[in-house]
Amino acid sequence: MFTIEHDYDATVVTLVDEGAAPLGEDVVVQAFDDCVTLEQYDARTDNVVRITLSLTQVQDLGAALDLPEGVYQLRRTDSQ
């Protein structure tokens, strides 16, 4: 299950693990104009862990999800 909310400066997607136990903590994805952050609570450290991706990294990740194992480099046009 997931939710989508639009805040004033970001689109927020929350991924909820509904599978069989052990369940993972919710993952919150926030898309801003210049980056995307992923956050997840870590019970071992009692902290929220945040990863920040540039928009280029998000594009690379999206491309990687559809490719077989290997090393790749996206070629970008001047308009991107």
What is the tens place of the pLDDT at every residue in 25-54? 999 999 999 999 999 999 999 999 999 999
Q: How far apart are CA 30 and CA 36, in angstroms?
A: 6
Domain spans of the chain? 2-64
Contact 65, 57 (CB under 8 A): no
Determine the pLDDT at residue 70. 87
Determine the pLDDT at residue 51. 98
Tell how far CA 7 is from the center of its chain: 17
Determine the pLDDT at residue 79. 64
Mean of pLDDT over the chain: 90
Report CA-CA distances (Å) from 31 to 38, 67, 74, 80: 9, 23, 21, 18
Q: How far apart are CA 31 and CA 41, in angstroms?
A: 18
